[in-house]
Amino acid sequence: MHVMELPRKVVVGEDIINDLGAILEELEIGNSALIVWGPNVKKIVGDTLLQSLEKKKFAINWEFSGPSTFHEVERIQKLAKKTGSSFIIGVGGGRSIDIAKLASFKSKLPFVSVPTSASHDGISSPFASVKGLDRPYSVVAKPPIAIVADIGIISKAPFPLMVSGCGDLISKLTAVRDWQLARDKTGEYYGGYSASLALLSADLVIENSSEIASKSGDSVRVVVEALISAGVAAGIAGSSRPCSGSEHLFSHAMDIVAPGKGMHGEKCGMGTVMMAKLHGLDYKQVRDALDRIGGPTKASEIGASEEEIIRALILAREIRKERYTILNEANLTEQTAGTLARNTGVI
Mean pLDDT value of segment 105-129: 92
**What's 205's domain CATH number?**
1.20.1090.10
52-63 mean pLDDT = 93
pLDDT attached to residue 133: 59
Q: Per-residue pLDDT tens for 293-346?
A: 999 999 999 999 999 999 999 999 999 999 999 999 999 999 999 999 999 999
Give a yes or no: residue 170 inside a domain: yes
Give the residue with greater pLDDT, 66 vs 85. Answer: 85
* Residue 102 included in any domain: yes
For the cut 80, the answer to whether the pLDDT of residue 137 exceeds it is: no
Q: What is the pLDDT of residue 128?
A: 86
Domain boundary among 154, 179, 202: 154
User: Does a structural domain hold residue 169?
Assistant: yes
What's the mean pLDDT in 282-292? 97
* Range name among 119-123, 193-197, 241-245, 258-262 with the lowest pLDDT average: 119-123
The answer to whether residues 163 and 26 belong to one domain is: no
The domain total for the chain is 2
Q: Are residues 136 and 172 in the same domain?
A: no
Residue 59 belongs to domain spanning: 9-154
Nearest-angstrom CA–CA distance, 90 and 96: 6
Q: Which of 264, 243, 166 is nearest to 211 (CA)?
A: 166
Confidence category of residue 69, pLDDT binned at 50, 70, 90:
confident
Average pLDDT, the chain: 93
pLDDT tens for 190-200 read: 999 999 999 99
The confidence score (pLDDT) of residue 66 equals: 81
β-pairing, 32-37 vs 139-140, is: unpaired
For residue 136, the model assigns a pLDDT of 60
What per-residue confidence (pLDDT) applies to 245?
Answer: 97
Q: Which of 93, 120, 154 is the last residue of a domain?
A: 154
Mean pLDDT of 21-26: 96
**Last residue of a domain, which of 154, 179, 201?**
154
Whether residue 167 is found in the same domain as residue 258:
yes
Phi-psi region of 325 (alpha: psi -120 to 50; beta: other; left: phi over 0): beta
Cα–Cα distance between 205 and 199 in angstroms, integer?
Answer: 10
155-173: pLDDT as tens digits = 999 999 999 999 999 999 9
Residue 131: phi and psi, rounded to 5, are: -90, 165
Looking at residue 141, its pLDDT comes to 86
Q: Are residues 301 and 194 in the same domain?
A: yes
Residue 19 sits in a domain whose CATH number is 3.40.50.1970
User: What number of other Cβ atoms are within 10 A of residue 199's Cβ?
Assistant: 18
